[in-house]
Structure 1
Amino acid sequence: MKALTTESALKSVKEYFLMSVGMLLYSFAWIGCILPARGVGGGAAGLSLVLCHAIQEWLGVSIQIGTMVFIINGILLLFAGFIVGWNFGVKTVFCVIVISLGMNFWQSVLPAGDFLHLERILSIILGGILAGIGVAMCFMQGGSTGGTDIAAMIINKYRTVSYGKIVIYSDFVIIGSSMLVGFHIDTVIYGYVMTAVFGYTVDMIMSGNQQSSQVMIVTHDYEKMADAIAQNVHRGVTLIDSEGWYSKKASKIVMVVCRKRETAMILKFVKTIDPDAFMTVGSVMGVYGKGFQAFTK
């Protein structure tokens, strides 16, 4: 067991603080933007909104969304604990509690109705952006919002299904089911718009600033090509042994990992030095090391 140091304690405090801010921002997005715009979404929050509306319509009982989020996640956590073990982490439980409390808090302090006075589509888009920022802040600190994450653990216990498919299928069903409890088709459409904006925002924050290009250049003039890139683009170059299957001639492949914005400059040098060069450009993310992102301690 690692000894508790001041550095590790401050790091933990920072992580939990940022997760709290992220979850409060996520809950505000739902209560302050999506709910007033009569929107819906996926995940535990979207399912809670549908269930709360159904209970209100059918039984006349009003339940706060945050309370329903806590109930749904609590049930999922219990199932996950008995099925896959109790190793889903303290941060997941912490985030679930903060989301639930945050939603109830915003629902009690924010004025009823569309207090932002935005067009419906703008309110939905703003909600998706704010929710995406909040969830990305949580993910970057190693946290989890529960809901679909817990369901994915349970499903993958018995069958291997990608996380992306589970999210897409569950969100599609949850948003579509809103029509069964009194929501109209426009709500479903706005729900899919919000989900798309939410997912794009999370992806951009999580990987947008880390995305780089991996350029593979097949050329006979590899020495001149490597020198030009190293001296002008100031990026490290790696030479990989290769052999043309048709020509049976040994050569080198010039490999460069660079920022997206530097790709066009490399293409220019390739065209200038060897117009007949064969080149592939692929997107990579999470490039760690000198000149890129530092390794996480």
Structure 2
Amino acid sequence: MKFSITEAKSYLIITLGLCIYSLGWTAFLIPSEIVPGGVGGIGTLIYYATGKSIPVGYSFFVINIFLILIALRLLGSRFGIKTIFGIVVGSVLLSFQQEWITEPLVDDKFMASIIGGILAGVGIGITITQGGSTGGTDIVAMMINKYKNISPGRIILYIDIFIIASSYIIFEDISTIVYGYVEMGVAAYTIDMMISGSKQSAQLFIMSTKYEEVAERVSEETGRGISMLHSTGWYTREENKMLMIVVRKHETQHIFKVIKEVDPKAFISMGSVMGVYGLGFEEIRA
């Protein structure tokens, strides 16, 4: 029962992320004639090339399904249910929101590219943190990477640059390309911030005369491992024990609360760490 509730929560969060993602496209990018990268960018090109007769959501769905069918043949079963869920829900949201929103919410195209990029980046970031995906150029990158020793990130970058540059064929306006690249940069930065923000960790050194009680409560209430180190005060020459613990940053407030309840006079040093690998954190990758 607990697993099913957790999974349901994850799908709800993915749906929220896709709502934000599609809002950025339908309220700012598409009506402002800004062509970002990815399958959505291809859908935007098709939308304007056909005289606005084929909504972006339709193209988004068809192209992604086509890519998945090819990838299943070349790569085997490497796509989870959440990826398919993201493609289907994303297509539906893009279609419905594009019908509801016919004019951009801001008149300035530069602001539209900034706001649209932020919303798209936040939406994708939320989706990725829950193990989901919107498919698209990610699938193409995986297929190319199987046969060529090129990093997926570089492949996606090249594809997006080409898609955005192709907008000149339809709009014949250099500024449209510039706005597309602005959106691409803003979205990429936002995605990185969303993903790294959810994985930020902190290292705490705790010095307290009640170190045993502090360690016991923190361990029981957070489930995190604690290392106990021998320490000697240089001024007092008193020997004591120092606790060292690494946790996610969102867990630090609870630890501070516990320490204050046990020993308000405790000395605490906290620092951000670039990466934490192992049990309870990130998988070690070679």
Same fold, TM exceeding 0.5?
A: yes
RMSD: 3.1
- Cα 1:128–1:96, aligned 2, differ >3 Å: closer, same or farther? same
| Matched residue, 1:48 | 43
Mapping for residues 268-283 of structure 1, pairs under 5 Å: none
2:6 alignment partner AA: K
- Cα 1:258–1:19, aligned 2, differ >3 Å: closer, same or farther? closer
Give the TM-score, by structure 1 length: 0.69
Check the 8 A contact 1:236/1:257 in 2, yes or no: no
**1:21 has 2:10 as partner:** no
Task: Give the drift of 1:231.
Answer: 5.5
Check the 8 A contact 1:20/1:98 in 2, yes or no: yes
2:152 alignment partner AA: Y
| Matched residue, 2:194 | 205
Mapping for residues 87-236 of structure 1, pairs under 5 Å: 87-110=78-101, 112-114=102-104, 116-208=105-197, 210-211=199-200
Aligned residues: 231
Q: Distance in 1 between matches of 2:248 and 2:55?
A: 46
Q: Distance in 2 between matches of 1:286 and 1:79?
A: 36
- Cα 1:286–1:125, aligned 2, differ >3 Å: closer, same or farther? farther
The one of 4, 7, 12 equivalent to 2:2 is 7
Q: Distance in 2 between matches of 1:133 and 1:118?
A: 22
| Matched residue, 2:54 | 63
Check the 8 A contact 1:41/1:171 in 2, yes or no: yes
Check the 8 A contact 1:44/1:148 in 2, yes or no: yes
Task: Give the drift of 1:17.
Answer: 0.8
Check the 8 A contact 1:38/1:187 in 2, yes or no: yes
Q: Distance in 1 between matches of 2:273 and 2:167?
A: 37
Structure 1 residue runs without a partner (length 5+): 1-5, 215-228, 239-255, 261-281
- Cα 1:171–1:213, aligned 2, differ >3 Å: closer, same or farther? farther
Task: Give the drift of 1:259.
Answer: 10
Residue deviations 1:1-29 (CA, integer Å, cap 9, x gap): xxxxx100001101111111111211111
1:284 alignment partner AA: M
Task: Give the drift of 1:89.
Answer: 1.0
2:5 alignment partner AA: L
Q: Distance in 2 between matches of 1:231 and 1:50?
A: 61
Q: Distance in 1 between matches of 2:110 and 2:48?
A: 21
Task: Give the drift of 1:163.
Answer: 1.9
Q: Distance in 2 between matches of 1:155 and 1:77?
A: 14
Q: Distance in 2 between matches of 1:237 and 1:149?
A: 44
1:52 alignment partner AA: Y
Task: Give the drift of 1:37.
Answer: 2.1
Task: Give the drift of 1:113.
Answer: 1.9
Q: Distance in 2 between matches of 1:74 and 1:286?
A: 36
Task: Give the drift of 1:182.
Answer: 2.5
Task: Give the drift of 1:46.
Answer: 0.8
Structure 2 residue runs without a partner (length 5+): 209-225, 230-244, 250-271
Q: Distance in 2 between matches of 1:121 and 1:99?
A: 25
1:125 alignment partner AA: I
Check the 8 A contact 2:116/2:183 in 1, yes or no: yes
| Matched residue, 1:34 | 29
Q: Distance in 2 between matches of 1:143 and 1:284?
A: 24
Residue deviations 1:87-116 (CA, integer Å, cap 9, x gap): 311111110001110000101122x222x2
1:101 alignment partner AA: V
Q: Distance in 2 between matches of 1:15 and 1:166?
A: 29
Q: Distance in 1 between matches of 2:13 and 2:248?
A: 28
Check the 8 A contact 1:230/1:237 in 2, yes or no: no
Task: Give the drift of 1:212.
Answer: 5.9
Identity %: 37
Q: Distance in 2 between matches of 1:149 and 1:237?
A: 44
Residue deviations 1:61-85 (CA, integer Å, cap 9, x gap): 7101000001110110011011111
Check the 8 A contact 2:129/2:198 in 1, yes or no: no
The SS at the match of 2:65 is helix
Q: Distance in 1 between matches of 2:247 and 2:163?
A: 41
The SS at the match of 2:126 is helix
